[in-house]
Every structure is written in structure tokens, then in C-alpha cells.
């Protein structure tokens, strides 16, 4: 038996996946998620805040220790960074700090790479039988929409919009959410039209958290969230129910949210807006995503690595 590991450094959360691999059999051993808000105030400052760097570094140090306990060399772990690390002016300095302090070698991937590996991850979910599906991956700073041929395991088309739950939150605080979102939807109007689908398959922390809230769980229950399907109107009902709840209220009611309690409203608003644009009537939640795709693929293809 051998272990493989992958880490997804997102704009809002950092996730670790360790699996045992025996032939075609892949079993999850460790599955960790921590919200660090690496991309907080990124549009305003153009750089990672020192506090966000410190928080992220502490989580990655913990992940390095977990890997070492599993006899995994940190330098062999597949570590990807996404939208925030594509645009932050001090991303290289952050990546160098990570390698120096943890041994992890971070690869910044393109939006196309995010789409490809998120698609490969969701195809790990054997419950999905439809020949063609559309996936939504809401991150902290970007949202990927991906149309996939599930039979061939191939991305048909995809694009990445520079809007996620952290950016939405920052725009809302600045009083410019509606204008910014309308601008982005106008720019990606053609792509949004081509992605129209009755059922939208959703991955990543915002949507899995919303699924857990829908189930009413105070702690995250992955086995019940994965494969969860409900009518899209449920999102509107959840927003109406909790729109007056502040972060502290949401955290008290749903402790599993942690720091995500600060962005869950913005993520929910973004999900509703995208679903409306895609004319989707149903939502399918999958807990498989980018980190599953990179781990199963065994590495990152050069074409998906951001050249600096």
C-alpha cells in the first residue's frame, strides 16, 4: 500500500487530501480543510496581506506534519495554488516562504488547469451517470464553469470568471457588488449562455457548506453532503432565511463554518446569480473537486502551470 497526497491552496481555504492507493482502489485517509482567507482584500491591495500569509503558512505547516506522520515527503505532495496566487504581486514571495517552511513545492495553475482537474475530481464520484454535465466551482476569488463528457473523461469547454465568495464579500462591503457582478456577467455572457443546464453540479467549500446547512448539520457530514441533490429554489429560501444573520449568528448556528461564516452569504448570493444565468432548476453537490483531480492524475501537466 502507498499513500499519495494533494493540497489545494485556494483564495479562501486550504485543503489537504491523503489517500491510500492499491491498483485502481483509492481510499481517503486524511481530508482536511481550513479557511485562511488568503485572497482577502486582494482587489484593493493587489497583494496578500501579511496576516493572511501568516494564517496560511501555519495551516500548511500543520499539513506538512500530517504528511510526515504518514511517511510522505512534503516535496512529493502535489500542491496547487489558484486565482489569488495568479494575481497577487507577492505570490512568489509567499510560495518561497511555503517551500522554505514546509518543504511543499507549490505550482500555480491556470484557470484552464483548475477546470480540468476539478472535472477529473468530480468524475471520481461514481454516482454521476449523465453523459454530459456542467460543473460550477466557486472559490474565493474565481468561479469556474466546466462542461464535461463523463464517458470520455474530457472537458468539452470551460472558462473562469474573476469572482468568488471572498471577492463578492469585499465588493459588498465596498457597496459595489451588484455593479461588479453585472460587469462580469456581461463580459462572460456568451460563455454563460453555452453553459445552460437543467442540473448544475457543484464542488468546493462554498457549495458543500451550503449543502450541509440545508441538511441542518452543525458539524460537516461529508457522506450526507456528497451526492446531495435539491431544487435550485432552495438556495433562495436559504438566503431569505439567513439574510439578517451576521457572521457570529451563522457561526453559532453552524459551527462547522469556522471562518467561512464571514463569506457564506456572499457565496450564496453568487451561487443564486449563476444558477439564474444558467437557467438551472436543480443543484447536485459533490465533495470531490480539484484536490481529488490532481491526486488521481498524479501531477500537473506543464500546459496548466502558470509561467512566471
Residue 40 has pLDDT above 90, yes or no: no
pLDDT at residue 122 in the model: 84
Using alpha carbons, select from 4, 3, 290 the residue that is nearest to residue 124: 290
pLDDT at residue 24 in the model: 64
Element (H, E) at 132: strand 132-138
C-alpha 226/C-alpha 268 separation (Å) is 18
pLDDT at residue 289 in the model: 85
Could you tell me which residue, 230 or 165, shows the higher pLDDT? 230
pLDDT at residue 279 in the model: 96
pLDDT at residue 95 in the model: 95
Cβ(32)–Cβ(18) below 8 Å? no
pLDDT at residue 104 in the model: 97
Could you read off the pLDDT of 71-104 as tens digits, one per residue? 999 999 999 998 889 889 999 999 999 999 999 9
Q: What is the dihedral of CA 275, 278, 282, 287, to 10 degrees?
A: -70
CA angle 62, 64, 66 (to 5 degrees): 70
Could you tell me which residue, 163 or 115, shows the higher pLDDT? 163
Could you read off the pLDDT of 133-152 as tens digits, one per residue? 999 989 888 898 999 998 88
C-alpha 157/C-alpha 172 separation (Å) is 30
For strands 154-161 and 228-231, give the pairing. unpaired
Residue 285 has pLDDT above 80, yes or no: yes
pLDDT at residue 25 in the model: 75
Could you read off the pLDDT of 201-259 as tens digits, one per residue? 998 889 999 999 999 999 989 889 999 999 999 999 999 999 999 999 999 999 999 88
Q: What band does 22 get if pLDDT is binned at 50, 70 and 90? A: confident
Residue 112 has pLDDT above 90, yes or no: no
Chain centre distance of CA 95: 19
Residue 132 has pLDDT above 80, yes or no: yes
* 80 grid coordinates: 496547487
Mean predicted lDDT score pLDDT of the chain: 91
Average pLDDT of the residues in 40-57 = 90
Amino acid at each position: 500500500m502507498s499513500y499519495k497526497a494533494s493540497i489545494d491552496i485556494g483564495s479562501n481555504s486550504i485543503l489537504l487530501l491523503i489517500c491510500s492507493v492499491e491498483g485502481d482502489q483509492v481510499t481517503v485517509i486524511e481530508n482536511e480543510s481550513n479557511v485562511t482567507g488568503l485572497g482577502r482584500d486582494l482587489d484593493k491591495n493587489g497583494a496578500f496581506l501579511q496576516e493572511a500569509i501568516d494564517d496560511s503558512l501555519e495551516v500548511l505547516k500543520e499539513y506538512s506534519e500530517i504528511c510526515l506522520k504518514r511517511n510522505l515527503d512534503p516535496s512529493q505532495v502535489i500542491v496547487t495554488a489558484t486565482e489569488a496566487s495568479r494575481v497577487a504581486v507577492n505570490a512568489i514571495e509567499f510560495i518561497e516562504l511555503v517551500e522554505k517552511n514546509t518543504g511543499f513545492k507549490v505550482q500555480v495553475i491556470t484557470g484552464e488547469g483548475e477546470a480540468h482537474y476539478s472535472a477529473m475530481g468530480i468524475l471520481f464520484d461514481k454516482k454521476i451517470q449523465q453523459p454530459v454535465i456542467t460543473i460550477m466551482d466557486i472559490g474565493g476569488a474565481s468561479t469556474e464553469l466546466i462542461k464535461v463528457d463523463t464517458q470520455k473523461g474530457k472537458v468539452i469547454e470551460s472558462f473562469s470568471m474573476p469572482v468568488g465568495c471572498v471577492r463578492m464579500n469585499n465588493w459588498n462591503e465596498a457597496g459595489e457588488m451588484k455593479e461588479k457582478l453585472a460587469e462580469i456577467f456581461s463580459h462572460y455572457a456568451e460563455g454563460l449562455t453555452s453553459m445552460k443546464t437543467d442540473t448544475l453540479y457543484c464542488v468546493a467549500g462554498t457549495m458543500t457548506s451550503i449543502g450541509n446547512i440545508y441538511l441542518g448539520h452543525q458539524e460537516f457530514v461529508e457522506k450526507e453532503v456528497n451526492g446531495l441533490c435539491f431544487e435550485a429554489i432552495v438556495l433562495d429560501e436559504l438566503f431569505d432565511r439567513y439574510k439578517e444573520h451576521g457572521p457570529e449568528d451563522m457561526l453559532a448556528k453552524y459551527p462547522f463554518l469556522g471562518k467561512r461564516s464571514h463569506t457564506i452569504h456572499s457565496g450564496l448570493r453568487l451561487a443564486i446569480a449563476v444558477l439564474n444565468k444558467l437557467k438551472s432548476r436543480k443543484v447536485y453537490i459533490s465533495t470531490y473537486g480539484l484536490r481529488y483531480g490532481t491526486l488521481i492524475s498524479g501531477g500537473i501537466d506543464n500546459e496548466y502551470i502558470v509561467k512566471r
